[in-house]
Amino acid sequence: MSKGKILVVDDEHLIRWSLTEKLQHEDYEVKSAGTGEDALKEVAEDLPDMILLDIKLPGIDGMEVLEKVKQSHPDTIVIMITAHGIIPQTVQALKLGAYNYITKPFDMNELIVTINNAFEVVALRRDVNKYRSEESKRYSIENIVGKHHHMQELFSMLHKVISSDTTSVLLQGETGTGKDLVAKTIHYSSARRNKPFIEVNCATLPENLFESELFGYEKGAFTDAKTQKKGLFELADGGSVYLDEIGDMPLSMQAKLLKLIEDKTFKRLGGIKDIKVNVRVIAATNKDLSAAVEKDVFRKDLFFRLKVFPIMIVPLRDRKSDIPLLIQHFLGQINMEYKKKMKGVTPEAIDVFLKYHWPGNVRELKNILERTVILAEKDEITTFHLPSEMFLPPPEETADGENVIKIPDSGVSLEEVEKKLIIQSLAMTENNQTQAAKLLNISRDTLRYRLKKYRIGNE
Ligand SMILES: Nc1ncnc2c1ncn2[C@@H]1O[C@H](COP(=O)(O)OP(=O)(O)O)[C@@H](O)[C@H]1O
Ligand SMILES: [Mg+2]
């Protein structure tokens, strides 16, 4: 398959011929034209991906061809061929949208490198734009489902955050309540939507990498720093940085983050220059940050700084009236994704959904629906399809607020309970073993060992 269509436009026959030969050899599909008029005709008949365009042509010159092509086909890559290097005309061509220029006489191999690079860059650019427009559709505020008054409050807060561009935001809510979804919605609905959204999980980033990842480093800052590297804040300039699980950010980093939020500046590791960036910080946590402040593991000043715009997402069990709506929403998505025709849920099954206490919140609801739709043979979800944990009462709370599991009079199988808890932890974390192990307060190795033992998943 050809790597792309190139039109070579030059009045010198020898140049047209040699370029055509070489480019065909490189697997490009090549056409050529000797005048501006012919070039425009060719473009109208069979639009090339790239045009190598001599500036000086008899009749309509290269500049005019460039202007016309860019007006009608802005995506076409144009590389100018000039005899004199950078002259005012070349600059003008670049301003008109030419991608680059080459100077005659040119080295064929260098030219090929320039052309290959241009194709790569343009493909990337196209991907990024496509990705961004798809993302902004996916993360528009309409895709957050909810009618409960807690959700109404969330929406009115979101509208404020989206229209005020600079403030940082703190999202608080249990796991699975929709913090990621809200963070992305804020970014992709705001004026920053065409700039990067960069996600950092503070719980999984090792402490010694925090600073170099977020702020970057100068060459020689440490033994392995062979070249300068930009940090995530610099890469996100103009956009948003999503600091997930901010409660797990080391104290030393918290001071630096505070400075960044207040002054909008930071230094690269080993650097002396202050670098200015314009990023919105969206922080999220499922921890009680004010308790962390009390315990001196989270800085009070940073907490207050982030809390200017606090968004609380309440647990699903406190907005159960939204469950039918969410079921409908997810069934639509799941049917489409798996080409199924699941119509709905029987009244008895709805009762179970409404009684259940949803420790994994909306994520758990979505996962359970997905699992049942895949397994169910009927077009309606019945109680028969639902996982057994949904029939259990919520764990009782002791006086000091800690959960205990009560053994029923009939007794339990400890292994069964353990197995269920493991399955539940995986459902709550979308099969993230590191996070599941954390929920169970065991090491990842221990979790893997048990997965194997109970033959859960692929282990
Ligand atoms: N109100 C909602 N409407 C639609 N989908 C939601 C809603 N809340 C959460 N979800 C979906 O549930 C899943 C878990 O949400 P997520 O944002 O990852 O939660 P968190 O970051 O708080 O753990 C995601 O697939 C998300 O799209
Ligand atoms: Mg999350």
Q: What is the pLDDT of residues 13-44, one digit of tens each?
A: 999 999 999 999 999 999 999 999 999 999 99
Given 3-state DSSP classes, what are the helix, strand and coil percentages for the chain, each rounded to the nearest 5? 50, 15, 35
Sign of CA dihedral 330, 331, 333, 334: positive
For the beta sheet containing 197-201, the strands, ordered from the edge strand earlier in sequence to the opposite edge, are 197-201, 240-244, 280-285, 169-172, 310-312
Query: Of all atoms in ligand 1, which is nearest to the CA of residue 244?
Result: 21
The Cα–Cα gap between 335 and 369 comes to 10
Sign of CA dihedral 119, 124, 125, 126: positive
User: Nearest-5° angle of CA 236, CA 237, CA 241?
Assistant: 40
Ligand 1 pocket, mutate which of 362, 368, 435, 438 (most atoms under 8 A from CB)? 362
- H-helix or E-strand containing 15? helix 13-25
pLDDT band at 358 (very low <50, low <70, confident <90, very high): very high
pLDDT band at 399 (very low <50, low <70, confident <90, very high): very low
Going from the Cα of 233 to the center of ligand 1, the distance in angstroms, rounded, reads 25
Going from the Cα of 360 to the center of ligand 2, the distance in angstroms, rounded, reads 11
Going from the Cα of 348 to the center of ligand 1, the distance in angstroms, rounded, reads 25
The Cα–Cα gap between 303 and 387 comes to 39
pLDDT, mean of residues 254-274: 91
Going from the Cα of 52 to the center of ligand 2, the distance in angstroms, rounded, reads 48
- Specify whether 374 is located in the same domain as 415: no
Neighbours of ion ligand 2 (CB under 5 A): 179-180
- Specify whether 283 is located in the same domain as 236: yes
Going from the Cα of 270 to the center of ligand 2, the distance in angstroms, rounded, reads 32
Q: Nearest ligand, CA of residue 179?
A: 1
pLDDT, mean of residues 56-74: 91
Q: Nearest ligand, CA of residue 243?
A: 2
For residues 214 and 233, the answer to whether their CB atoms sit within 8 Å is yes
Residue with tokens 């999980």: 201
Going from the Cα of 255 to the center of ligand 2, the distance in angstroms, rounded, reads 24
The Cα–Cα gap between 456 and 459 comes to 6
User: Nearest-5° angle of CA 400, CA 401, CA 405?
Assistant: 110
- Specify whether 79 is located in the same domain as 163: no
Ligand 1, atom 18: closest residue by C-alpha? 180
Query: Of all atoms in ligand 1, which is nearest to the CA of residue 177?
Result: 22
For residues 337 and 331, the answer to whether their CB atoms sit within 8 Å is no
Domain boundary among 131, 163, 195: 131
Helices 433-440 and 444-453: crossing angle in degrees, nearest 10, is 100
CATH of the domain at 457: 1.10.10.60
Ligand 1, atom 17: closest residue by C-alpha? 178
Q: Nearest ligand, CA of residue 171?
A: 1
- Specify whether 173 is located in the same domain as 286: yes
Going from the Cα of 372 to the center of ligand 1, the distance in angstroms, rounded, reads 19
CATH of the domain at 79: 3.40.50.2300
- Specify whether 305 is located in the same domain as 406: no
Q: What is the pLDDT of residue 225?
A: 77
291 phi and psi angles, rounded to 5 deg = -65, -40
Q: Are strands 169-172 and 275-276 parallel, antiparallel or unpaired?
A: unpaired
User: Residues enclosing ligand 1, CB less than 6 A?
Assistant: 144-146, 173, 175-181, 329, 362-363, 366
pLDDT, mean of residues 224-247: 90
- H-helix or E-strand containing 345? strand 344-345
Beta bridge partners of 316: none
pLDDT, mean of residues 209-236: 86
Ligand 1 pocket, mutate which of 147, 181, 285 (most atoms under 8 A from CB)? 181
pLDDT band at 246 (very low <50, low <70, confident <90, very high): very high
Domain that holds residue 210: 140-314
Instruction: Tell me the percentage of the chain whose pLDDT exceeds 90.
Output: 53
Q: What is the pLDDT of residue 402?
A: 54
Q: What is the pLDDT of residues 335-346, one digit of tens each?
A: 999 889 999 999
The Cα–Cα gap between 335 and 239 comes to 34
Res. 214: pLDDT tops 70: yes
The Cα–Cα gap between 270 and 382 comes to 61
Going from the Cα of 429 to the center of ligand 2, the distance in angstroms, rounded, reads 9
Torsion of CA 426, 323, 161, 137, to 10 degrees: 80
DSSP code of residue 186 = H
Res. 142: pLDDT tops 80: yes
User: Nearest-5° angle of CA 369, CA 372, CA 375?
Assistant: 150
Q: What is the pLDDT of residue 86?
A: 67
Q: Nearest ligand, CA of residue 439?
A: 1
- Specify whether 154 is located in the same domain as 284: yes
Q: Nearest ligand, CA of residue 200?
A: 2
Alpha helices in 216-360 (DSSP H): 232-235, 251-263, 289-294, 300-306, 323-338, 347-355
Gap between the terminal Cα atoms of the chain: 41
Of 435, 157, 161, 174, nearest in space to 285 by CA: 174
- Specify whether 188 is located in the same domain as 290: yes
Ligand 1 pocket, mutate which of 244, 363, 367, 428 (most atoms under 8 A from CB)? 363
Mean pLDDT of the chain: 88
- Specify whether 33 is located in the same domain as 123: yes
- Specify whether 330 is located in the same domain as 211: no
180 phi and psi angles, rounded to 5 deg = -60, -45
Q: What is the pLDDT of residues 430-450, one digit of tens each?
A: 788 998 999 898 999 999 999
Domain boundary among 314, 340, 361: 314
pLDDT, mean of residues 378-399: 79
Domain boundary among 314, 331, 365: 314
Res. 84: pLDDT tops 60: yes
Total number of domains constituting the chain: 4
Query: Of all atoms in ligand 1, which is nearest to the CA of residue 366?
Result: 12
User: Nearest-5° angle of CA 109, CA 110, CA 112?
Assistant: 65
Going from the Cα of 232 to the center of ligand 2, the distance in angstroms, rounded, reads 19
pLDDT, mean of residues 319-338: 94
Ligand 1, atom 24: closest residue by C-alpha? 363
Of 131-135, 170-174, 308-312, which gets the smallest average pLDDT?
131-135
- Specify whether 324 is located in the same domain as 307: no
- Specify whether 169 is located in the same domain as 300: yes
Beta-carbon contacts of 237 under 8 Å, excluding residues fewer than 6 positions away, are 195, 196, 277, 278, 279
DSSP code of residue 458 = T
- Specify whether 150 is located in the same domain as 118: no
Residue with tokens 């290959």: 116
Q: What is the pLDDT of residue 400?
A: 52
